[in-house]
């Protein structure tokens, strides 16, 4: 399941985050790569010891967890604190798969990476290239979204970022351990929740069909969730 989600960040939030990023230090992105990924990763990242990173992470997590569509798609149990990357001057990230287990920096706590997320922080007209390509059952999908929009997809997917040929691409990337480990079950729950939200807008919260479907949704969560 690959889902694009608009407007995670509004204009003011996006401007505030970009102002911090434009003044921040950037280092070689291979510092946080696994053994295989380090062979194909060519980009820059905000270092883990950057003094601005906690504020950036806090702003992003607050925006994500207050966005109903993102919450419905990811069903987060744990969120790895977001990281930030920058591509310019021919940089790219060759095809790879994300590590199954990541360690939360500074804590030693491990999370299982069920869901990958990229939140775009540059407008698509500001750069050429830099598409996120995600392999799936129906072939490769190319994603290049407006600033403030995000894409979520199974962390099991092979994916890559194509070379930048003009401008600069800045984004945040991170992983989620979902309450529902299985991607097919998450997709079913997302489709059901989307239908409930649509019916709620039409019929109201207390309509009999809305209440019945909401009960089914929560009973499915109860059956499948790992918390």
Global pTM reads 0.93
Tens digits of residue pLDDT in 50-104? 999 999 999 999 999 999 999 999 999 999 999 999 999 999 999 999 999 999 9
Same domain, 41 and 130: yes
* pLDDT at 139 > cutoff 70: yes
Question: Is residue 41 within 8 Å of 93, Cβ to Cβ?
Answer: yes
Same domain, 134 and 213: no
Tens digits of residue pLDDT in 142-154? 999 999 999 999 9
Same domain, 192 and 212: yes
Pick from 75, 40, 78, 68: which is nearest to 158 by CA? 40
- pLDDT for the residue numbered 33: 67
CATH of the domain at 215: 4.10.860
143-144-147-148 Cα dihedral, nearest 10 degrees: 0
N-to-C CA span, the chain: 22
* pLDDT at 200 > cutoff 80: yes
Same domain, 78 and 188: no
Give the Cα separation of 98 and 36 in Å (integer).
Answer: 10
Same domain, 198 and 174: no
């Amino acid at each position: 399941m690959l889902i694009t989600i608009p407007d995670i960040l509004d204009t003011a939030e996006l401007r505030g985050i970009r102002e911090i990023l434009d003044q921040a230090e950037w280092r070689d992105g291979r510092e946080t790569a696994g053994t295989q990924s380090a062979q194909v990763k060519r980009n820059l990242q905000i270092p883990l010891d950057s003094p601005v990173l906690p504020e950036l992470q806090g702003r992003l997590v607050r925006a994500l967890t207050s966005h109903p569509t993102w919450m419905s798609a990811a069903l987060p149990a744990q969120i790895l604190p977001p990281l930030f990357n920058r591509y310019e001057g021919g940089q790219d990230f060759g095809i790879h798969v994300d590590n199954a287990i990541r360690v939360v920096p500074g804590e030693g706590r491990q999370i299982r990476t069920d869901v990958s997320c990229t939140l775009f922080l540059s407008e698509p007209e500001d750069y050429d290239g830099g598409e996120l390509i995600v392999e799936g059952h129906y072939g490769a999908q190319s994603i290049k979204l407006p600033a403030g929009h995000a894409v979520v997809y199974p962390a099991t997917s092979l994916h890559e970022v194509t070379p930048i040929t003009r401008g600069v691409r800045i984004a945040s990337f991170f992983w989620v351990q979902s309450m529902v480990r299985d991607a097919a079950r998450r997709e079913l729950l997302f489709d059901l929740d989307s239908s409930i939200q649509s019916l709620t807008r039409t019929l109201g919260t207390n309509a009999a069909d809305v209440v019945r479907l909401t009960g089914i949704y929560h009973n499915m969560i109860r059956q499948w969730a790992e918390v």
